Each structure stands twice: as C-alpha cells, then as structure tokens.
Structure 1
C-alpha cells in the first residue's frame, strides 16, 4: 500500500488527539479510528467518524432515556429479535464514515448501493496518481462456464504472464498519454476533466462514504458473500472486521442471520419438508428449474 509519509504522519496525529465528550463512544471503534487497513495492492479502508453503538440500537427500539435496568443479555436478545424479523429503523440510528481508496471499476460496483452519502476525489480538479490495480496471480481466472458473472479456473503459465503483461502495459501507456495531454511544456494542455477519459478502469480513486448500519449490513450481505467479485469482497471483509469491533452484538446477529443464514422459496421449503418425511426429492420432481435445483443443492451441502 502506498501511503505517503505525509499521510502516515497525518494519521498518527489524528490518532494521538484525544477529545472529551458527553456522547456515547464504542471502545472497539475508538481503537479503529483513522487506522488505514490495507486492501489489494494500493487500496485501504479507514474509519473517519461514527455515531452510535449496540446500546443506541436498543435505545431507539425501546425509545428510552438510557440503559435503565436492562442488561447486556437483554440487549443481545433484542438485537437478535430485530435482526431476525428484518427490522431496519433501529439499526439506522448508527452511522459510520469511511475513507476508501479503491480501483475505479470496484467503485462503479460499489456506487450501485445508493443508500449512502459519497464524495469522491475529483479528477476534474486534481491529477490522479500513477497507481493501478494489477491482480495477483491467484486472482487471474478465466470466465466461468456456468456463471456469466463469475470466474472459472485460474490462468497459468504463459497465458497468465501474457495477461499480466497486457494489463501492466496498457495501464502505463494510458497514464503516459494522460500526462502528456496535461503537459505544460510549451503547450496549453488538455483540460483535466477531458484528459481523465483516457485513464483505465483499474486506476485508483478515493472517496468518503457515509452510511447507516442498516444499509451497511445490506452492502456487506451482498459484497462479503463468497459469490461476490473478489476485488470488492476483500473490501467488504475488511469492513466486516471493523463493524465487529464497533457493534459486536449487532454484528454477531448479522453474521448469524444474514451472512450465515439462507433464504428459501416456498418450493424449497416444501422440498425440505418432503425430505424430512423420508421422501426422495430430485430436480425432476422438485418443481425447480435446473439452475434453482443447483443452488438449492449447494445450500443443503454447505
């Protein structure tokens, strides 16, 4: 990861500053504040600010003045109930603001989650750094033969070397031309807002991303899933670890009911009941298509 000495100094200065406050703080998140967690080859995730904790979720659900006589076990039971029954508003009482550095093509996936506030580094005003995402060898894979959105077998040997060479060469050449178009050596140079169109989708951008906990859990349920694209999944997995420190009771319930849970159709539930009653159920008599049956079997087999 390419944090500059100035950025590292700024982070250390931020982490060294202690402020007294009357508001509730989450000790786990206080330990996380401003720390840059490395992701991919040049990316990172770090927490800039947050509001609320596990108790804030329960407080909103009860609309109470404080903890009162409730115990941690009461709070855990309430949070699990809220998660189990898909309540949303109490989780919206907690918010977090991340600073994320990520490849542009990952950002374009990420931005589809529209229930957040985003401010991105502007290539209209500033010149982007010469930093590109180049996949590690174990992330180079062919197109899946069964999933139009997924990856199949790893590329190896000469084929992998050829692809890496193309990725590196194209990225360098595009950035060289980008710089040349901006050049001030005796020429006006093209406007930054136009020159940026020549940059590849694997160049890094940065943004501040502020989201409430309910919508963050929705993002993590989709993007931390094993079927999500690797490059966005590693960001989601990093955020999962941060959230687990911030709201441990809520994250535990989320992990149990969302990440580790499954959703079944009425047809799927009917098949399970038939199996429990000793009936042999196959794709042909299940009432499912081949694709549905394949996914159903994957759920049953873990």
Structure 2
C-alpha cells in the first residue's frame, strides 16, 4: 500500500486556538507558541476526554493513496473525507494487481462478530498466490482484447477484478481521521476494539504515522483516552 502526505495544514496549535476562542474571543490564533506547555497538553487532553470534538476539525491533511479497489470500497464507507479517484472511464488502467504476501493470515476461525484470522498452511498460501495471479492475468487479457477491438474503456473495465490497483487523493481533518483510525486499526487498550481487514489497516497505519508527526499532542491524547474519536 502506498500512502503519501501531499499537503497539510495541521498542528496541535490549530486545536488550541480553535478551543480557546470560546473563552478568550478573537485573536487566539496569535497565542500559539512554538513550544507546547503543560497547559496546552492539559487542554487537548480535556477536549479529547470529554469529547469536545469541533476544535479538532480546524486542520487539513491530503494523502495520496495507491491500493486495490476493494480497499477503496472500505475507505469510502467513511463519509468523513473528500475523495478523488483515478477513472477507468478516462484512462487505460495499468496491469497492477494485489496478491497477498505469504505472511497474510488466510483462515477465518469463528463467526462474523466473533472471529479471528490465523495463518494458512503452505498449500493454502501457494493456492491463493497462484489463483490470484491466474485470474488477474486472464482478466487483464480480456480487458486488453476489448480495448484493442475499439470497445470503450468504461465497458472494457467491467471484467477487471477488485484486486486491481487504483489511486486517489483523500483529504481529511484530525477529528475525521481519528474516527477512521478507531475503526481501521487494531490496537491493544482501545475502549472499543476493532477488527479491520488487514489491507485497509496497512493504509491506516501509514496515515497514523504521518499524523502523529504533525500533531503529537493530539495523537497522544487520542491514545491516552482509548482511541475514541471526540
């Protein structure tokens, strides 16, 4: 999975000035210093703990993401971000397909809502790799034959499987990102444990790494309060 920060306007000071306007009025933006104080940390933790969420919305991060289409379907269930994806109607898609790595867990044990994934056998791992590659090659060959015959891209693409890669921009604020991370990462000690599909979790982990560097106080408060979005 590829996740890159394209641009951002996001820092802990964005949370602080937005929160302090409620008690100090105008000009709180100029109050933000370069070094965080204990008072700053306390305010951010208070906002997170008591779920005063709107101060965490006054920032923006835009990520470039490359991932299989089935991952994008899960992304877009989160209606808290802005998305723009490459179009199979307007450009010829590239023959890039996702095949699970050998360490990817393959076996589901239990039932929906109460299950876990465990490693597969060597035979299962080989089968997944072989069948995924074969289906991808066959599908892309059919796609190419239709294009060569003059069929429109928007029609030819219907034979392509969900493991073909796509790319998109995702623009999100910290509050929305925390909502996404609370559902798409599995971290010990969370108030509400989540069990995401591994492929979208890989994207979420990379987004969290970037966000942690941009807003370390907010990230620390998020973890300290059980990774619950305010």
Q: State the secondary structure of the residue aligned to 1:74.
A: helix
Inter-partner Cα distance in structure 2 for 1:68 and 1:147:
47
Q: Which residue of 2 aligns with 1:230?
A: 198
Q: TM-score, normalised on structure 2?
A: 0.87
How many residues get paired? 214
Give TM-score, length-normalised by structure 1.
Answer: 0.67
Is structure 2 residue 140 aligned with structure 1 residue 168?
A: no
The one of the two structures with greater contact order (alpha-carbon pairs below 8 A, sep at least 6) is 2
Matches within 5 A, 1:202-221: 202-221=163-182
Check the 8 A contact 1:133/1:202 in 2, yes or no.
yes
Say which SS state the counterpart of residue 249 (structure 1) adopts: helix
Aligned match of 1:244: 212
Write the deviation string for residues 141-181 of structure 1: whole angstroms up to 9, x where unpaired: 12222436855332212232122211110011101111111
Give the counterpart of 2:15 among 25, 49, 57.
57
Contact 1:141 1:151 in 2 (8 A): no
Instruction: Quote the residue 1:26 is aligned against.
Output: none
Pick one of 18, 43, 47 that aligns with 2:5. 47
1:72-122 deviation line (CA, Å, top 9, x unaligned): 211111000000011111000011011100110010011000111111001
Q: Please tell me the root mean square deviation across aligned C-alpha atoms, in Å.
A: 1.9
Question: Does structure 1 conserve the Cα–Cα contact (< 8 Å) formed by 2:80 and 2:172?
Answer: yes
**Secondary structure of residue in 2 paired with 1:208:** strand
Q: What runs of 5+ residues in structure 1 fail to find an aligned partner?
A: 1-42, 262-302
Task: Flag the 1:133–1:154 CA change in 2: closer, same or farther, 3 A.
Answer: same
